[in-house]
Each structure stands twice: as structure tokens, then as C-alpha cells.
A and B are shown apart, each in its own frame.
Chain A
Amino acid sequence: METLLQQIVNGLVVGSVYALVALGYTMVYGILGLINFAHGDVLMVGALVSLQVVLFVQKTWPALGAFPTLLIALVSAMAVCMAMGYIIERTAYRRLRNAPRLAPLITAIGVSFLLQTLAMIIWGRNYHSFPQLIDTTPLQPIAGVFITPVQIIILLSSACLMTGLILLVTRTKLGRAMRATAENHRVASLMGVDTNKIIATTFVLGSALAAIAGVMFSTNYGVAHYAMGFIPGIKAFTAAVLGGIGNLGGAMVGGIVLGLVESIGAGYLGSMTDLCNLPVWAQTANLQETCSNGGSFELLSSNYQDIFAFVILGIVLIFRPTGLMGERVSDRA
């Protein structure tokens, strides 16, 4: 039981980082119908910029506490990423807005390579260890479940950010403009919405979320690296599709579900397919010797954890082609 609870906590933490990144994918897709593959690399830039700032602050004002240092780093990373998001949209995507869909997609992959290579030139190829500002030693275990302060902060702040974003999109004038642009940006512009500005804002917002996710990622795992954006990027994209791309709530649900599925899949796939747990099978397959002394014969093991996640994605898409929550796919922001 405590193992299951621990796996759920693990899954929730990973899932909420996926969800934050997935929001960036889904917002851009909702408005432009574009998959911004450079989004994962924005996360990487956020992490590396914050690392740089943390090191600088620690050197210049060593007396400053851990939280102020991290806050300064977070704000600067967000600022850099927001500026970068704006520049990417302005230079790489805006001119291709009416081009065939393939063109901006390829451009997005190009931007992703560009960002990675630039980061490699600036920060080198090495893994950087991210200073441990917040304690990653576990707190007193509750019901056998270990959780670290960093993980708690990640859970709480992503919940706040997601609520904030939903409120922004559903309750504010900006949000209404975003929804209008997503619906039809020509008509929206006829109604007096400055669609260029709204689209740029969407990129800026998404980049800010990616920057935050990057800082979370680095503080949690203690690493930053120029290629670190790829995996969370691809996972978050999967989460966005799982939840229904273009749908904000879907991205959040998709992220959390993906995190949980991965964690529980990796943890239980082995014992679920362990032939030693099925005496009948074990006998027919002559496994007594392997199974004796607490041995196991696992058909599928953590080897298949990623496949597990994608099988779930496949099943969901077969029965709900628009994802878990996507009903009118590209209509929403």
C-alpha cells in the first residue's frame, strides 16, 4: 500500500511538471493550430538561465537566503524566456502564419535545433549540477510515503499556476480575446481584437510557464543540461494530445494522467506480469527453479514503461480521437 501511495505521489509530481509544459503546447495549438516543437527547449533555456543567475547571485550576495535567490533566478528566467518566446513567434512563425501547415512545423523543429545548439555554445556540453537551494532530503514520512519540500512546492505552485491560467482565459478581457482569436482570427480582428498581439501574448505566456517548469525540473533533479528539454518536451506533447490538444483543462488532466500512468506502469508492470505470481503458469512453464527463493520471471518489466504510456495514449485516441477532454479540438484556447 505504501508503495502504491509513493508511486502516486511520484506520478503527481512528474505529472504536474508535464502539465505545465503541456499548457504551452496546447495554448499555441489552440490559437494557431501549430505544434511548437521548440517549446521543450524553452524549458531548457529557463533552467540554464536560472542556473546562471543563481550562481551569480550566490557569488555577489552570498548573504541572501535560498528563497530570495531562487525567486530572483525564477523571475529572470521567466523574463528571458518570455522575450525569447516573443522573438520566436515574431521571427520564425508570424511570416508563415498563412503558409501550409508543414512549413511552420519544420520551422519549429529548426528553432528547437537552433536553441539547443546556441545553449551548447553558451553553456557547453557538460551536465551542470543545479545548486541545492531547497532541501531535497525527504520530510518525515507520512504513512510510509516520502516527499521532499521541493516536491511539495512543485505540486502547490503548479496547481496555483494552472488555476491562474484558467481564470485568465475564462474571466479576463485578454482571455476573451484569446478565445476569440482561437475561434477565428480573421473574424476576431474584424471585431477589433489585435490578433498579432494576442498570439504574441500566448507565446509569451507559454514560455513563462515553460521557464517555471524548467526551474522546477532543475531544482528537483539537480541537473541542467543543454539537451534536457527534449524528453519533457516530448512527454508534455504526449500529455497535451492525451488530454485533447487545444484544450487547457485537457493539458492539465493529460499531464497528471501521463505522470501517474508512467509511475504506476513502471512500478507494477513487472509484478503484474510476473509468472511466479501465477502458480499454474509457473508450473507449465517449468519455472519452479527460477521462482524459488523469491525469484521472479517478469514477462514485461520497467523496460516497457514508455510503451505502457503510449499504449494508453493509443487506446484513448482510438475511443476518443480528440483526446480525453477535447471535444471541439482547435476551437479552444
Chain B
Amino acid sequence: MKHTLIALAVLGVTSGLAQAQEVVKIGHVGPLTGNIAHLGKDNENGARLAIEEYNAKGVTIGGKKVTFQLVGEDDAADPKTGNIVAQRLVDAGVKGVVGHLNSGTTIPASRIYNQAGVPMISPSSTNVTLTNQGFATVFRTMANDAQQGSVIGKYAATKIGKTVAIIDDRTAYGQGLADEVDKAVKAAGGRVSSREFTNNQATDFLAILTKIKSQKPDVIVYTGMDAQGGPMLKQVKQLGITAKFVTGDGGCTPEFIKLAGTAISDAAFCTQAGLPLDQIADKTFKDRFKKRFGADVQIYAPYSYDAAAAIIEGMKAANSSDPAKYLPFLKKVDFQGVTGEVAFDAKGDTKYGAITMYQFKDGAWVALK
């Protein structure tokens, strides 16, 4: 009996060595092509860094040493593609997913992950609907648009003006955030002079800006991504409009500043769901990221890092990488991530969502107190 045990143990060890390590696949989805591919890559790199660092430290789950593997997929910011790659990830047997980037792709895909019972943590989809669907497998690591919109609306209607024009890019994200801004402006006693719309492929906004100009608002709020926001600010100046310009987290990037060129001034503001990069808990994150990928953090890479970390922490707590087994533990995780403390409320929203307002000063976005 003793001999067989030893034999089994030896067998176990040798087979363990033969298999090297157990591989646990974690999916990541974001747009890696198309006009916000730079943000998709940013998120993917965040998750990749988390996985590489956990692998380097070594994680043991269920008595076995585990190697995490990132399976990156491209949804091109397109809901249809998003669903296809979500299904592909589920079929490939991923144990958890970090993503997607856009609310517009995350919301439809979340149904697929929920049906398959695969936990999904978005590091950047801020649309309120995402966590209101009642899916147990859905989480996010940053504040949602209701919080962000109310900060933007209140700031625009009380601190820097009274009349506000709102432009959105007709994506789930842009539209949802614009609705929240609209509500908040009115709640703060301001007036919405007009709601205008563009799309996430456009480069020319002169027509809608000319219309806005005729209504003379104090503030123009744009809810969309940096790829449109930068050129839009340029055109605001081109038309001689003096209104302040506020954009949401999609425009709160170094890229926005580059694209706006000389048009950007201290009349430009942006918000980010989360803390500024130099205020996040882990001060060395920025440098580790730069060293590994040779690129600067755009926006949500730290939140993507924490999303991947949360999945791994959940698995560690459950001592299992089986989604059904670690999901209850994922709901209860509470750990120190790179952005600060990470924990989720009953709906899957982050418990510690912060919103930071930035103003453009001396070539960069500077956090306002």
C-alpha cells in the first residue's frame, strides 16, 4: 500500500514534469484593428503584463503549478464581430475573459459569456446597461457612465458655463454617456442647447459645429473616442468658436492632445473613470508597462491589468480554475491591484470607482482637485 502511494506520488511528479505545467487560458477582446486599435492594444497589453507577472511569480492552483496564457482576439469595435470572437473564446475553453473595450461590443457579448458561465471583466466599458442586465458573470473594474456623466454635466453647467451643447458618436458608450450628461446638466440648473450626433468613423464635424456655433453655448461636451475628439477640437477652433470643450474618458488620452495639435488650450477638459496614472496605487506600473511594451499607457491598461489580476486572484481563492467554482470567489475578491483596492458590488460594478476631472495645461492633461 505504502509502495503504491509512493509510486503514485512519483508518477504524479514525473507526469507533472512531463506536462510541464497546467495551462489556463484567459481571453482578451478589444479592437486591434480599426480606428481605435491603439486603445485595444493598450488594454490587451495591460492584461498581458498582469498575466506575465503572475506567471513569473508562479501561481499554484489545486496543487498544480499553473501557467496562464492570454488568448487575444480582435473585435474591431464591431458588435457583430464581438459576438463571433466571444463565441470563439468560449469554444476555445477560456476560463475567464478580460474585455471587451467598447460598451457597444461588451453588452451583446456579455450574454454569450453568461450562457457559457465564463466570467467576464471589462476594464473600460462604462455604459450603465452592462451591469444592469442581471448577469452573474459580468464585472467591470472602473466607474460607470452614470457617475462619469453626472460629474461632466455638473461641471459643465455650474463651473465653466451654463448652456451646454452635447455631441455623441452614436455608439452605446457615447450615447449612454451623453444621456447621463444631458440629465446632469438639467439637474444642475443648466440648459442643453442642442444634442448633435456624429459617428465613430467621421473626421469632418464642421457642419454640426457650425450649427452649434449659431446657438452660442458656453460648453461643448463630446462623448466619444479620442480619434474623433482631437480633430473635432481643431475644427472648433477653425470656426472661431470660443466655447469650452469637455470630453469623456474616451478622449482623455495623450493621443487626443497630439491630434488636437495647436488647437488645444486650457479651455479643454476631460474626465476619466478612475484615477490619474500618477495617482494609482502602484507607482512603478507606468515604467514596467513602458519597459515591456515600449509604449505609453493610453487610458485603461491599469484597469485591464487589474481585471486579469482579479480573475487570477479569484482562481487562487477558489483553488480552482473551473469558472463555476471560482465565480463565487471572484465576486468576493478584495485585493490590492495596481489601481488600488479591487472589489465588486452585487451587480459586478467596482466598489471603488473614482472619477477624475482633467484640464489641459502645459502639454498634458492635469488632474483637477
Contact = CB atoms under 8 A, between A and B. Distances in A.
A141 interface: yes
B364 to A, nearest CB: 15
B207 interface: yes
Contacts of A141: 240
Nearest to A263: B207
Nearest to A218: B203
Interface in A147-170: 148
B237 A223 contact: no
A13 B207 CA distance: 11
Given A120-B33, A221-B234, A293-B191, A7 B259 contact: no
Contacts of B35: 127, 225, 227-228
B262 to A, nearest CB: 6
Contacts of A262: 207
Interface stretch (B4-12, B81-89, B210-218, B269-277): B210-218
Interface size class of A (residues with CB under 8 A): 35 or more
A127 B259 contact: yes
Interface stretch (A19-27, A75-83, A94-102, A300-308): A300-308
Given A222-B231, A222-B259, A306-B199, A146 B238 contact: yes
B32 A125 contact: yes
B238 A137 contact: yes
A7 B207 contact: yes
Interface string A97-123: 000000000000000000000001000
Contacts of A120: 33, 37
A14 B208 contact: no
A115 to B, nearest CB: 14
B363 interface: no
A24 B56 CA distance: 55
18 contacts: A6-B213, A10-B210, A125-B37, A129-B261, A136-B234, A138-B238, A146-B239, A217-B203, A221-B204, A222-B234, A223-B227, A223-B230, A264-B207, A266-B207, A267-B207, A267-B211, A270-B194, A296-B194
Interface of B: 32-35, 37-38, 41, 170, 191, 193-199, 201-204, 206-208, 210-211, 213-214, 226-227, 230-231, 234-235, 237-240, 255, 258-259, 261-263
Interface of A: 3, 6-7, 10-11, 13-14, 120, 125-127, 129, 132, 136-138, 141, 146, 148, 217, 221-223, 225, 227-228, 230-231, 262-268, 270-271, 293-296, 301-303, 305-306
